[in-house]
Structure formats: structure tokens, C-alpha cells
Amino acid sequence: MVIDCHGHYTTAPKVAQAFRDAQIGGRADAPPPEISDDQIRESVQPQLAFQAARGTDVTIFSPRASGMAHHVGDTRANLQWARLCNDLIHRVCTLFPKQFVGVCQLPQSVGGSPADCVGELERCVTELAFIGCNLNPDPSGGHWTAPPLTDRAWYPLYEKLVELDVPAMVHVSASCNPNFHATGAHYLNADTTAFMQFLTGNLFKDFPALRFVIPHGGGAVPYHWGRYRGLAQDMKRPPLVDLIRDNVFFDTCVYHYPGIELLLKVVPVDNIIFGSEMVGAVRGIDPETGHYFDDTKRYIDAIPWMNAADKQKIFELNARKVYPRINSAVRLKPDTTDR
């Protein structure tokens, strides 16, 4: 079984975003969008087609990351928007229970607090059977005004994550800072930033069971693995592999073979989870290979020196470990799959 841990609902019916535009445009009473089941079925056909073509089975699916836009809207508006987005994800997962399992958007905001997110996280996990959340380390959208992820301000949310036994993917949203292109800079910077916060802080002493997935292959981190090993050593921190062992995981959203090979070479296999970000940041076909840039399974399949057992960890078993609630979804038990 191949579990893709990183998919966003980038193809959601446009009326959803139109509602958001109205909402943040000041029309607080904008009516929620009417979206039929047929519209939802239609909207995820690209994902279903890519799953079938690429040989992946299920996508851990969350609202469009750049659409979260926590930097616009207050706590109340962003809660309404998060609920709407999460409910749409739930409908996708209900219509296609074998192909999608949900991860939620949190109602973060610039003026709000992480504690504001506890209720919606709990609703999504306990009522909608979601298995994780996306946590934005920079609700300001590129101004980085929130405290680091190791700050105690985040602890109320972490307590709930641990209680529910669900991980958070560290994922920023759109950038309103003209310095940062969203998918070409802001996303990767956030990944790198979060990792270094984890390296320097003692968060996992306080929360030994807290788990983060750092997407986009860990930003700059695996490429600079020697730098991070050296920084950890200079700072008298534990070795990186011990620092991250049970708490920090990288996805495989790296869109060329040499990058994937590097990731698989330097990061322990137990800390890598298959992901593609499909349909996402890069949508074209690589003229050098004739295949989609974001068909990341191909790169992993082609690694000659990794054995099948380790690849199974990346494709399936690590996701089951990091997102344990995926196992209680009967439809995803290996013996009940029918693909």
C-alpha cells in the first residue's frame, strides 16, 4: 500500500474561495457556498487519476495550504473558514473513503492564540475522523511575528495533539511579503526554520510523543545535513538522528531524482514519509524525464540501493506510525483494500 501524506484540495470548487473572498471583503454574512456531491466528485477527478496512474492508494488530504491565509481575517472569520474547508475535506473523504483521509486546517490568525485552535482540531479528529492537522508557524504570512514553535504559547495546542495522538504538518500559507514567493521560497524557508527551532529547543523533552512532519523534503535541511550535524555538535546538542527520532519526519516532496536520492541517503529511513503534494506547487511535466515533476514515487522506485523493506517504510509503514489513526480507519487496513 502506498500512502501519500501530502495532498491539498487545490481543485476545490471555486465557490469556496468566492465565499472566502466575500468574507474577508467585509461581508461577514456571506452565505456559505452550496456545493453538491457531484461537484465534489468532479473536483477530485485529477487526484483520482493521478493516484491510479502513479500507483498510490490513499492521500492524506487537507485544505489548500495557500488558501488558509491566516494573515487575513480575525479569529472568528478564520474559524468559520477553517470549518468550511475542513467540512469539504470530510465530504471528499466520505465520498471516496478508500482514496482520501483527512487532515485539518486550523483557525489560526495574527491576533489569535494557538489555544483558539484546540476546539476545531478536536472536532475534526473526533467527529470527522481526521488523522492530523496542518500547523502554520507563521500566521502573519511572511512577517514571522508569531513566537517560535518551541515557545510555550503553542503548548495548549501541543497538549491536544498528544492527547488525540495526531501529528501536525508544519505548513505555512500564502505570503503577503513581497520578498517571499509562496511555493518557491516561503514554504521551503518555513520548513528550514522549523527544523532549526526543533534542533535548538527542548520541545520534545516536554512532549516526547509530539510528532511533526516537515514537508517539501524538509526544506533545505537534508541538503545541509552536514551543516546541521555540525551545528548540533557545536551547540552540544544530541546527534541529529537522536533529536528527530520519534518526533520529526520529512516528506518526499522533492521533484527530481538527485534530490530524492540525497534525502534517502542522509535522513534515517524511519524519518521519511512518502508525499507528493499532488495536485500542487508544480504541475508540469519534466522535459528531461517525460514524467510529472511531482510524481515522486517514480524517483523512490528508481533508487537502486534501497531494499523493498525500507521502501515500504517510506511508502506505508512510517505513515501508519506517525498518523496512527489511519489504522483505525477500517477501510485502510491492508487486508481490506481492494486495489
21: three-class secondary structure by DSSP: helix
In the bound state with a copy of itself, the residue whose beta carbon lies nearer, of 147 and 334, is: 147
Q: List the one residue out of 107, 26, 16 whose CA is nearest residue 69.
A: 107
Smallest gap from Cβ 170 to a copy of itself, in A, equals: 12
User: Whole-angstrom Cα distance, residue 33 to residue 13?
Assistant: 9
Asked if 253 and 209 touch (Cβ cutoff 8 Å), the reply is no
User: Whole-angstrom Cα distance, residue 123 to residue 129?
Assistant: 9
Q: How far is CA 119 from CA 71, 124, 126, 160, 234, in A?
A: 20, 9, 10, 9, 41
Query: What radius of gyration do the chain's Cα atoms show?
Result: 19
User: Whole-angstrom Cα distance, residue 172 to residue 34?
Assistant: 28
Smallest gap from Cβ 272 to a copy of itself, in A, equals: 14
Smallest gap from Cβ 231 to a copy of itself, in A, equals: 5
In the bound state with a copy of itself, the residue whose beta carbon lies nearer, of 90 and 186, is: 186
Smallest gap from Cβ 11 to a copy of itself, in A, equals: 16
In the bound state with a copy of itself, the residue whose beta carbon lies nearer, of 128 and 185, is: 185
In the bound state with a copy of itself, the residue whose beta carbon lies nearer, of 170 and 332, is: 170
In the bound state with a copy of itself, the residue whose beta carbon lies nearer, of 150 and 318, is: 150
Smallest gap from Cβ 58 to a copy of itself, in A, equals: 24
Smallest gap from Cβ 299 to a copy of itself, in A, equals: 9
Smallest gap from Cβ 181 to a copy of itself, in A, equals: 4
Strands 272-273 and 285-286: unpaired
Q: Which residues contact 166 (CB under 8 A, 6 or more apart)?
A: 121, 125, 130, 131, 132, 133, 323, 325
Joined together, the cell numbers standing for residue 60 give 492524506
Tally of helices (H runs) and strands (E runs) in the chain: 16, 11
In the bound state with a copy of itself, the residue whose beta carbon lies nearer, of 77 and 185, is: 185
Could you give the residue numbers annotated as active site?
277
39: three-class secondary structure by DSSP: helix
Q: How buried is residue 205: exposed, middle or buried, by Cβ count under 10 Å (0-12/13-18/19+)?
A: exposed
Q: Which residues in this chain contact a copy of itself in the complex, by CB under 8 A?
A: 137-138, 142-144, 146-148, 177-181, 183-185, 188-189, 192-193, 195-197, 199-200, 216-217, 219-220, 222-231, 233-234, 254-259, 261-262, 265-266, 281-284, 286-288, 293-294
In the bound state with a copy of itself, the residue whose beta carbon lies nearer, of 31 and 284, is: 284
The full DSSP string for 85-132 is HHHHHHHHHHHSTTTEEE-EEP---SS--GGGGHHHHHHHHHTT----
Centre a 10 Å sphere on the Cβ of residue 242 and count the other Cβ atoms it contains: 10
